[in-house]
Chains A and B, each alone.
Chain A
Amino acid sequence: MDYEQVLPYIPNLRRYARALVGDRDAADDLVQDTLERAVRKFHLWRPGNLRAWLFSIMHNVFVNQLKSRRPSPTEELDENHAGLAGTGDAGAAAQVRDLERGLASLSPEHREVLLMVGLEDMSYEEVSRALGVPMGTVMSRLSRARERLRRHLDGEPVPAGLKVVK
């Protein structure tokens, strides 16, 4: 068993975590917890898709964190974002803000699928394995997540999660 195998995935786990929870420190906490858990459970991994396995661990850690922490960490936008966007023009900065707000407005389930596919380029099959849900669920979540984020970016009214029946 070679723990070195996990190391190449750390940058991707960090990128995904940053997009998932927004805040830099909270994202690295998530990565750290994931790595620790991966070490403990490494004996359960069977040669195969290590990336999907690591993301499945991160998913479990993330879900547990959501359960234990009431306030959503996505509400806090990373201060570093402004610095990054500051190098471009005001329009680009606004777009970055929009994207972050849009992501934060998604449900955690939708955000996970959107980021695994759109940012990490994972296949539906890998996402299905990582999240422990059927492929059909992955696809329907992805399409809803994209639709919602698109509306947000295009400035269209975003329907609330719960519809009020008149």
Chain B
Amino acid sequence: MTKDEDLSRLLHERFDAVLVEPVPARLQLRAPSWIAGARAAAILTAGIAIGLAMPFAWKGAPVAPGAGAAAPAPLSARAARAHLVYAAEVRHPVEVDASQQDHLVAWLSKRLGTKLKVPVLADEGYELLGGRLLPGPDGPVAQFMYQEATGRRLTLYVSARSKSDGPTAFRFAQEGPVAVFYWIDGNWGYALSGEIDKPALSRISTAVYRQLNP
């Protein structure tokens, strides 16, 4: 009978040799050249380049000039961060899934204190996965997640309008790898985020806007 320790020993006997193998050149990533190399490659793959630049871009962004204290990050940045965190989740992308859509909408509407509407994006190729509640600078925030057949995801972020949110215009921001269209409507801010190109996101955002403002 093979014991647990024997299994472990067999695995180590077989695979420990990999630890001392020379690491192939493509994996030998010394920090400076790694970043430089990735930046060079970014001419071909813009997404990676933006992703690398992002942590640095974000460092100073949320701090109001001269204020000393950190102001809340703009709507687009908050939406993009929430997108990055949850759209990457394989197993738990949402708290409540689309099979309980009525409950989801009722719950989030109650928490946000407004009657939320969930756009249908089937015509754009995206199905609702579900949603979750998130903390925001001015109270709870709702995030709805959609998924395309290829697995690509979009998130719609609905948040109380923050004083720093600016005018109501329909605006675009590229937050690292995430493209965001956002707008203010009354007391609410909306942001649609996805790692997709601007024209496609623009088209879908227009569909979202039309459904929310029939």
Contacts and interface: CB of A to CB of B under 8 A. Distances in A.
Contacts of B4: 118, 146
A9 to B, nearest CB: 11
A141 to B, nearest CB: 14
Contacts of B12: 119
B34 A39 contact: yes
Contact of B18 (A1, A15, A35, A96): A15
Given A31-B27, A63-B90, A3 B55 contact: no
B37 to A, nearest CB: 11
A14 B8 CA distance: 17
Chain A interface main SS type = helix
14 contacts: A1-B55, A3-B34, A10-B23, A15-B16, A15-B19, A28-B24, A35-B29, A39-B35, A40-B52, A41-B88, A60-B88, A60-B90, A99-B10, A100-B14
A75 interface: no
Contact of B11 (A36, A44, A118): A118
B51 A19 contact: no
A95 interface: yes
- Which of the four size classes fits the interface of chain B? 35 or more
Interface of B: prevailing SS: helix
A81 B31 CA distance: 32
Contacts of B23: 10-11, 14
A1 B8 CA distance: 35
Given A2-B31, A60-B88, A119-B12, 18 more contacts: A7-B30, A7-B31, A12-B19, A15-B19, A18-B15, A28-B24, A32-B26, A41-B88, A44-B84, A60-B90, A64-B90, A84-B14, A118-B7, A118-B8, A132-B91, A153-B2, A153-B10, A154-B2
A115 interface: yes
A149 B7 contact: yes
Nearest to B34: A3
